[in-house]
Structure 1
Amino acid sequence: MAKVLIVLYPDPVTGYPPEYARDTVPEITEYPGGATLPDPQAIDFVPGQLLGSVSGGLGLKRWLESEGHTVVITSDKEGADSMFERELPDADVVISQPFWPAYLTADRIERAEKLQLVITAGIGSDHTDLNAANARGITVAEVTYSNSISVAEHTVMQVLVLVRDFVTQHRISEEGGWNIADAVSRSYDLEGMRVGVFAAGRIGRAVIERLAPFGVRLSYTDRFRLPREYEERYGLTFHDSIESLVREVDVLTVHAPLTDETRGLLDDELLATMPRGAYIVNPARGAIADRDAIVRALESGRLAGYAGDVWDPQPAPAGHPWRTMPHNAMTTHTSGTSLSGQARYAAGTREILERWFAGEEIRPEYLIVEGGGYRGTGAHSYAQQPTQAAGEQA
């Protein structure tokens, strides 16, 4: 029997919801491109429930305990005396979400002598030291594609919020004003703007497909060039580097994983090459952007706006300058944890656990590292590889 340590964000300050705004969520039968949804043997929750907080428990507690496993669920993850630190040394499995990540550093992995499996309930495993996991032969998995569309929708929303300057307009309305000139003095149409997508994986492609009907001019960069027919369908211009891309865009959306190559990439030098008045939306990882460089670019007018859903670290401290910098539309990493998305990544987490406990193979699209090396999605997203030709995009 295993000890499963689950780290989730706290319940709502008003308490776990006794009811919800909607009675149902739409049933999704497949992902775009025909990829299959999670397929656990059963689930112990109703889709649309709040599963990502402590009381929701990803719908796993009853099932795991019925199978004889020990389950610890906590939101307390910071500091040497946190429950996460106390419970980690003898945990066999650690599960957390990108929105409230349990940071598994090399030091913590060294002290977690029994750890065999790490699961990201969602997408993105950079909060685990993957080199240390490989060295120990720990399996790392995530629920690929479970909330990709959730994040893509949030990205499109934030693009529109920035370009139309929605935050200012809503604040004037909320405060009882009717200052139309003030409300529109930074408001533009998205139509005709040049939108660049940094990394055209599942989320990046979903953003392209959703923005195309707005009449924008689309371009992208990625290690893996998209098929020619896809580029033609959406009028895409390919750039072979981020440096080339940012010179030619009015709006940049960021969807790259956090690696040694992308950490701090959006710095003063790169931002200085963007057209004055450009916008950036970053729902990928906060550390891809240089925190203070973003603030300086907004204060100087180099950037017209910055929105994002990710911070460094997470949760961000109350004094983080991105909370108060001018012309921001930041959110607290909520894009991928809509109630709809939670149902999918909770089901995928259970599927991974079922397969692992049964000694069965975890499907490749969920794997990041296994057996001491990058596997599946991890080999595509995290391992260093040469650029592949068009049509080989995974």
Structure 2
Amino acid sequence: MKVVAVLYPDDHPEHHPDVVASAARGLDLADHLSAAGHELVTTSDTGEQLDRELADAEVLITTPFWPVYLDDDRMAKAHHLSLVITAGVGSDHIDADAATARGISVTEVTGSNVVSVAEHNVLQILALVRNFVPAHRQVAEGRWDVADATQEAHDLEGKTVGILGLGAIGARTALRLKAFDVTILYYARHRRSPAEEAILGVRYARLDELVRTSDVICAATPLTSDTGALFDAERLATMKPGSWLVNTARGAIADADAVREACESGQLGGYAGDTWYPQPAPSDHPWRDMPRHALTVHYSGMTVEAQARIADGVREILAAHLAGEPLPDDYVVAAPQE
């Protein structure tokens, strides 16, 4: 069996002993697969080289951080492909319907990044509200302009935070925000029970109300046909002037040009997150040099601890596949009909 793993490049793996989700390390799967008589090919290429490797591959491992955009045309060339594993959470870069129609199962390591992304949400909310990035930049620039740094620095306490989506990540984000004495609203397709709302310290609001009344909005929802470009120019205009938007969900949830214009005009007090579209983000992406941003590369769900959880989950999925056993239910995103 041939396994192809498309992971991000690392030119100096000797400097990064704890980074296992790179092409250089290949999630440390090589010895395990080789001992069982299987081949592991690792690459960071997502173009023609990858297509050549996929031609006779049975398993593809990809990630949300260095994604393989896998559509039906590409799958049609991968004649032996039967399993796709997302090493992480979020498989919207894969056409799941086309995959299952071709007899390909799609899996991901559910829950592996939940704590990591929830913590990153709080980090980026604080970075925006406290105007951290411009204040930090002053240090590198040799400046000491306290007035300039504090002009747009605020307390988080007393603000209203709206969380879009209250799944595992959204719920943990809410729990971590409770200590800041904020009002937490949430919108989700499925409302939580009164007991769960009380534990999380949240109140349900319809989407329009949440957008209109929140000082901070945190997107924690999957990318679907309903959430694509959800934050377009029209919706951004209904947010409170000067409010902040954090998006660690998926870059395509926000309209890139509209976000830039809102940051330039001050309609948005700032934008943060680590998800972009496409990924890796090109050097001329409109968010790279826009004002009022605290963006990072897509790494929130790839802490050292998260990578260990991801590697364990990938090994579990592979072990079931190799043994001809059912794949773990909680890891299955889509599966062919029996």
**Taking structure 2 as the reference length, what is the TM-score of the superposition?**
0.97
The answer to whether the Cα contact below 8 Å between 2:110 and 2:331 also exists between their aligned partners in 1 is yes
Q: In the alignment, is the contact (CA less than 8 A) between 1:162 and 1:306 conserved in 2?
A: yes
Aligned to 2:333: 368
Q: Distance in 2 between matches of 1:243 and 1:268?
A: 14
Contact 2:101–2:336 under 8 Å retained in 1: no
Deviation at 1:19, TM superposition (A): 6.4
1:98 is aligned to 2:98 = no
Q: Which has the higher contact order (CA 8 A, sep 6+)?
A: 1
Q: Kindly report which structure 2 residues correspond to 1:344-363, keeping only aligned pairs within 5 A, or say none.
A: 344-363=309-328
Name 2:39's counterpart in structure 1. Answer: 70
Match of 1:51 among 20, 25, 47: 20
Judging changes above 3 Å, is the alpha-carbon distance between structure 1 residues 372 and 128 closer, same or farther for their aligned structure 2 residues?
Answer: farther
Q: For 1:233 and 1:350, locate their aligned partners in 2 and report how far apart those are by CA, in whole Å.
A: 35
Contact 1:194 1:217 (8 Å CA) reproduced: yes
Structure 1 residue 360, shift from structure 2 partner: 1.5
Partner of 1:46 in structure 2?
A: none
1:315 maps onto 2:280 in alignment: yes
C-alpha distance in structure 1 between counterparts of 2:95 and 2:212, whole Å: 33
Letter in 2 for 1:101: P
Report SS of the residue matched to 1:354: helix
Residue 123 (structure 1) shift: 0.2
* Aligned equivalents of 1:303, 1:90: Cα separation in 2: 48
CA deviation string 1:364-387 (max 9, x = no partner): 1111001249xxxxxxxxxxxxxx
Give the 3-state SS of the residue equivalent to 2:231 in structure 1. Answer: coil
Alignment correspondent of 1:11: 10
Structure 2 CA distance, aligned partners of 1:131 and 1:166? 43
Distance 2:62 2:200 in 1: 36
Which residue type is aligned with residue 210 of structure 2?
L
Structure 2 counterpart of 1:274, one-letter code: M
Please tell me whether residue 203 in structure 1 is matched to residue 206 in structure 2: no
Report the CA distance between 1:244 and its aligned residue: 2.7
> Structure 1 pair 56/238, CA: closer, same or farther in 2 (3 Å)?
same
| Among candidates 94, 99, 114, match of residue 80 of structure 2 | 114
Q: Distance in 1 between matches of 2:3 and 2:144?
A: 54
Match of 2:262 in 1: 297
Instruction: Report the equivalent of 2:153.
Output: 187
Contact preservation (8 Å) 1:138, 1:372: no
**1:71 to partner: Cα distance:** 1.2
| Contact 2:87–2:109, Cα closer than 8 Å, also in 1 | yes
SS at match of 1:118: strand
TM-score normalized by structure 1?
0.84
Size of the aligned set, in residue pairs, is 338
Counterpart of 1:252 (choices 217, 241, 244) is 217
2:332 partner letter = L
Whether the 8 Å CA contact 2:174–2:201 is kept in 1: the answer is no
Matches of 2:150 and 2:209, distance apart in 1: 32
Alignment-mate amino acid for residue 142 of structure 2: G
Cα deviation for residue 59 of structure 1 reads 1.1
CA distance in 1, matches of 2:71, 2:210: 33
Whether contact under 8 Å (2:51, 2:77) holds in the other structure is no
Please report how far the alpha carbon of residue 362 of structure 1 lies from its aligned counterpart in structure 2 after TM superposition. 1.8
The SS at the match of 1:252 is strand
Q: Which runs of 5+ in 1 are unaligned?
A: 21-48, 374-394
Partner Cα distance (2:175, 2:198) in 1? 12
* Partner of residue 204, structure 2: 238
Q: Give the match's secondary structure for 1:368.
A: strand
Distance 1:73 1:363 in 2: 24
Instruction: From 304, 317, 326, give the equivalent of 1:339.
Output: 304
1:75-128: per-residue Cα shift (whole Å, max 9, x none)? 1113xx3x2121112111000111001111111011111110000000001110
Report SS of the residue matched to 1:247. helix
Bigger mean CA offset, 346-355 vs 173-182: 173-182
SS of equivalent to 2:238 = coil
2:125 corresponds to which residue? 159
AA of the residue aligned to 2:33: L
1:127 to 82, 93, 108: 93
The verdict on how the C-alpha distance between 1:18 and 1:269 changes in structure 2, with shifts beyond 3 A counting, is closer
Please list every run of 5 or more consecutive structure 2 residues that lacks an aligned counterpart in the other structure.
none
Aligned in 2, Cα 1:134/1:372: closer, same or farther, shift over 3 Å? farther
Matching residue of 1:306: 271
Q: Measure the CA separation in 2 of the matches of 1:352 and 1:191.
A: 43
SS of match in other structure, 1:272: helix
User: How far has the Cα of 1:233 moved from its partner?
Assistant: 2.8
SS of equivalent to 1:323: coil
Moved more, 86-95 or 229-238: 229-238
Structure 1 residues 234 and 202, CA gap change in structure 2 (3 angstroms) = closer
Q: CA RMSD in A?
A: 1.2
Q: Is the 8 A contact 1:136 1:372 kept in 2?
A: no
How far, CA to CA, are the matches of 1:17 and 1:329 in structure 2? 29
Structure 1 residue 239: Cα displacement: 1.7
Q: Are residues 365 and 19 of structure 1, via their aligned partners in 2, closer, same or farther at CA, if it must alter by over 3 Å?
A: closer
Work out the CA distance in 2 between the residues paired with 1:234 and 1:71: 43
Task: Determine if the alignment matches structure 1 residue 330 to structure 2 residue 288.
Answer: no
Letter in 2 for 1:17: E
Q: CA-to-partner distance for each residue in 1:293-327, whole Å, 9 max, x for gaps?
A: 10111111111000011000000100101011110
